Chains A and B, each alone.
Chain A
Amino acid sequence: MTSEELEILGESELSLLETLDHVLNLGLVVAGEITISVANIELIFVGLNLLVGSTETVYKILGKRLDNLDQSERSTDISSD
């Protein structure tokens, strides 16, 4: 992973997060609507995974952040997608 590639990755995550910041909490809300599911880490993880194409590399990049997560949560994420 070159630093340039890392930079592009970071920008994509930024773009995704900025989009999320708009669509997730704002907009028209209808009372009683059925809404969303799924754990938050999967979103970022899936995004990065698609970009990088390799789970190991993603883990290397996320590194410190994932260390804070539950071991069990980690293994669930690997098996999905």
Chain B
Amino acid sequence: MGEAVLTVNMEHSRGSQLPVEAEIETAHSKEFLEELRHVTEVLPERINIDAESVEQGLAKLVLTVIEFIRRLLEKQAISRVESGNLTPEQVEALGLALMKLEAKLQELKTQFGLAEEDLNLNLGPLGRLI
């Protein structure tokens, strides 16, 4: 491809500048420290993706979809309750069913050793599923 030359596309004047260190400025270190520590919480997610077995990967996929549907059902149930079209008995039955679903899903997550944040699908340009 050719020699290393200073091309005319250089963004700066001839001769490189010194590398610039990103500076951080805040008057609230304590608050932001607390917040930023969450960054390290994402690490388990990335390691899990690399290390997981086929079985766990499949479980993750299936449970993510179920979790997605579960949340949808919850939201739908809430708007039905808010609409006021349900009898108290119906509201109670709906609530109990959703409660059981949530508990069951929690059980399955534990069985497969998956944490809350493990259930998610990156759909590329569509963002994350949950």
Indicate whether A and B are direct neighbours in the complex (CB within 8 Å). yes
Given A10-B33, A14-B24; A21-B39 close (CB under 8 Å): yes
User: CB-nearest residue of chain B relative to A65?
Assistant: B37
A40 interface neighbour in B26, B36, B44, Cβ under 8 Å: B44
The smallest C-beta distance from A58 to any residue of chain B, in angstroms, reads 15
Chain B interface mostly helix, strand, loop or mixed? helix
Given A18-B24, A37-B47; A24-B42 close (CB under 8 Å): yes
Q: How large is the interface on B (under 10, 10 to 19, 20 to 34, 35 or more residues)?
A: 10 to 19
Whether the Cβ atoms of B46 and A20 lie closer than 8 Å is: no
**Can you list 16 A-B contacts with CB-CB less than 8 angstroms, sorted by A residue number?**
A7-B29, A11-B24, A11-B29, A13-B33, A14-B26, A20-B40, A21-B36, A21-B39, A24-B39, A24-B43, A34-B50, A36-B46, A38-B43, A40-B40, A41-B40, A44-B37
Whether the Cβ atoms of B33 and A14 lie closer than 8 Å is: yes
The smallest C-beta distance from A55 to any residue of chain B, in angstroms, reads 19
Which residues from 7 to 60 on chain A have a C-beta closer than 8 Å to any C-beta of chain B?
Answer: 7, 10-11, 13-15, 17-21, 24-25, 34-41, 43-44
Cβ of B5 < 8 Å from any Cβ of A?
no
Instruction: List chain A residues, Cβ under 8 A from B24.
Output: 11, 14-15, 18
User: CB-nearest residue of chain A relative to B40?
Assistant: A40
User: CB-nearest residue of chain A relative to B50?
Assistant: A35
Interface of A toward B, CB cutoff 8 Å: 7, 10-11, 13-15, 17-21, 24-25, 34-41, 43-44
Chain A interface mostly helix, strand, loop or mixed? helix
User: CB-nearest residue of chain B relative to A15?
Assistant: B24
Cβ of B12 < 8 Å from any Cβ of A?
no
CA A43 – CA B30 in complex, angstroms?
Answer: 19
